[in-house]
A and B are shown apart, each in its own frame.
Chain A
Amino acid sequence: MTESALLSGTQKVYSYPDATGRYGRFGGKFVPETLMPALRELEEAFHAFQADAKFQERLTAYRRDYIGRPTPLFHAARFSEHLGGAKIYFKREDLAHTGAHKINNALGQTLLAKEMGKDRIIAETGAGQHGVATATAAALLGLHCEVYMGEEDMERQRLNVFRMELMGARVIPVKSGTKTLKDAINEAIRDWVTNVTTTHYVLGTVHGPHPYPLICREFQRIIGHEAREQILEKEGRLPHCLIACVGGGSNSIGLFFEFLQDEEVRMIGVEAGGHGPETGEHAARFAGGAEGTLHGAMSYVLQDPDGQILGTHSVSAGLDYPSVGPEHAHLMSSGRVEYVYANDSEALEAFQLVSRMEGIIPALESAHALAHAAKAAPAMSPEDIVIVNMSGRGDKDVQQAIRLLDPEKSGPEAG
């Protein structure tokens, strides 16, 4: 971090998580006893492979030759000009193999699983992006892969179900609870509890029990690492502001992490406002949730006064989740990162605007970050550099967008 220290004049050490997996009062391991030894094993294996030069070499080679890293940092000139304020760059994770940042983590964890001698991996998926990324990594490395997916999500994302199956993964429909992402995670954890000795669970975001939020962050921080080098090369200075959407929080922590100690860099996480937090149909955990435990972590959770988890709504399946990574809860309470939300309609508008202005169709998740950029940029000056994380591409969302924007054209099948 010497470069950072040089530029910002600070060198405060950010050392989360602590030895117990805590980020301040958030994080931890709130799981059944059966999994505790597996989490310990995973943590030890992860630290060993972090320190193993051969493992790192393989990871670097796959990142370069398979994922296609580094992904470009693109100056969105027309979008910037249209908004009439800040100079906006896109970090192009949409150009990564399989079309989203999810592959960074899925490939890293699958490589780890293989090194650990596990021959079976499982994953949960909502929109299907993490499922596709995991199926991809499993095909690449020759592991057996099963993906849990809510029955409702399978209906909505049939294309991704087919992609996973094409690559040899088995997609298991989840019929319990709300039949969406949170239930797919429940089911994946139940599977892991049962098959823990042979199976690695590839969790798709910076949530879950320690060490998952750490592992996922470490595999995703390459985004910010590259972006930092790229912006220094292009502009010779650090950005004014970073903006990323926050589902579980992996693409955002991936972009933010390498800048955390640069105090002059503002960071904004954008949650899914759905129909608006006041309607109860949303996934804005910081605006509408409270501290609680779900899926192994203490964090912010959308829940009723009795501690029962609430259903969520977002136009984007990848943000449609009732909790958020514990490190974000910490960064929110410490004030280092600001959290806002964008509603469905704002995201859809940004989805169209960026498609038209830049010839880039963003994922509906990323469109939430773009929607906030569109709100914030006009008040900034052209001297202000903003990096928005284009976490994924929107091909998977085109059908959903047609249905919402032009119901006439969508026909009965698209719903």
Chain B
Amino acid sequence: MNRIDARFAALRKEGQAAFIPYITAGDPTLDDTARYVLALERAGASVVELGVPFSDPLADGTVNQEAALRALKGHVSLRNILGMVKELRRDTEIPIVLFSYFNPVLAYGVEAFARDAAEAGVDGLLCVDLPLEETEAYGPILHSAGLATVFLIAPTSPDDRVKRIAEASSGFIYYVSRTGVTGAQESVETAVKGMVAAIRRHTDKPVAVGFGISTPEQAREVAAYADGVVVGSAIVRLIGELGGGAEAAEKVAAFAAELADGVRTSRRPMAT
């Protein structure tokens, strides 16, 4: 069983939601990223999303854009990100999903990527600009290597698309909690709960919610009805302020622990 599936199955048994932090790989260095992943795991992360930096991140807000630029200044590439994950696997079994734009994967070669990523210990891929329609040629390649393909569902997705995306998604389904780009915001759109319920009508795969969640309170609120809570920009911003090193990792872990606590102490209806 894929690490992601195993983790969600275990959480479901415990009636818990997953806390899924997102960080940009290579910001500020890949050594720091490895340190951050371990710190996040200690803080209570269930799954980690690693952003693959891209020069033209058109689905990202300013915070993630700047993180990608910092990483690219250090010449981070998909190849050395996989190398970093491979080393990380000596220390952790936490499920790792790469969050990427398609072009770096295409340039690597989809087949070579699938093989190398699975071998390195990556568990899944989410390509933010590869919607369902464009995945037909690539999905089977990723799946046969053992990688999960996580798809996004948006507030604008009509019900027939929701159904098809839910069917094609594996590992989990990522519901984009707002019409917009990544970035922290004050409140989570109220329609999110209803949309998660609408997705569940089509699937019993885990549904994670992200884009704009930045505080423990928001995390607690969303964890009451979602199977996973993704927090990205709020953590990435903190990393941007702190830079790298062991001390920064401890501070990021402290913030992540609050978020994880929000998720863990959420009042969830009985596990389904």
Chain A residues with CB under 8 Å of chain B are 20, 28-38, 176-177, 182-183, 185-186, 189-190, 193-197, 290-296, 301, 303, 305-309
Contacts and interface: CB of A to CB of B under 8 A. Distances in A.
B107 A177 contact: no
B196 to A, nearest CB: 15
B186 interface: no
B55 interface: yes
Interface stretch (B13-21, B71-79, B86-94): B71-79
Contacts of B65: 176-177
Interface string B123-146: 000001111111000000000000
A259 B220 CA distance: 62
A190 B107 contact: no
A34 B129 contact: no
A290 to B, nearest CB: 8
Residue of B129, B132, B157 most packed against chain A (CB within 10 A):
B129
12 contacts: A29-B133, A32-B176, A33-B154, A36-B154, A37-B158, A177-B65, A194-B180, A293-B101, A293-B106, A294-B56, A306-B79, A309-B103
A278 to B, nearest CB: 22
Given A306-B77, A308-B72, 4 more contacts: A36-B156, A295-B56, A307-B108, A309-B103
B217 to A, nearest CB: 24
Q: Which 4 A-B pairs have the closest CB atoms?
A: A307-B107, A307-B104, A34-B154, A194-B180
Contacts of A176: 62, 65
A290 B152 CA distance: 28
Interface in B244-268: none
Interface of B: 54-59, 61-62, 65, 69, 72, 77-79, 101-108, 128-134, 151-158, 161, 165, 176, 179-181
Given A34-B154, A37-B156, A37-B161, A294 B103 contact: yes
A32 B176 CA distance: 10
A186 to B, nearest CB: 4
Contacts of A197: 156, 179
A306 B81 CA distance: 12
B252 to A, nearest CB: 25
B133 A33 contact: no
A285 to B, nearest CB: 14
A35 B132 CA distance: 12
B103 A189 contact: no
Residue of A33, A182, A190, A308 most packed against chain B (CB within 10 A):
A33
A293 B102 contact: yes
A33 B101 CA distance: 13
Nearest to B59: A32
A30 B131 CA distance: 7
A33 B153 contact: yes
A190 B58 contact: yes
A186 B56 contact: yes
B67 to A, nearest CB: 13
Contacts of B129: 30-32, 293, 296
B58 A306 contact: no
A150 to B, nearest CB: 13
B107 A292 contact: yes
A291 B103 CA distance: 9
A34 B79 CA distance: 29
A307 B105 contact: yes
A28 B61 CA distance: 24
B103 A32 contact: no
B102 A30 contact: yes
B55 A308 contact: yes
B5 to A, nearest CB: 22
Nearest to A309: B55
B212 to A, nearest CB: 11
B73 to A, nearest CB: 11
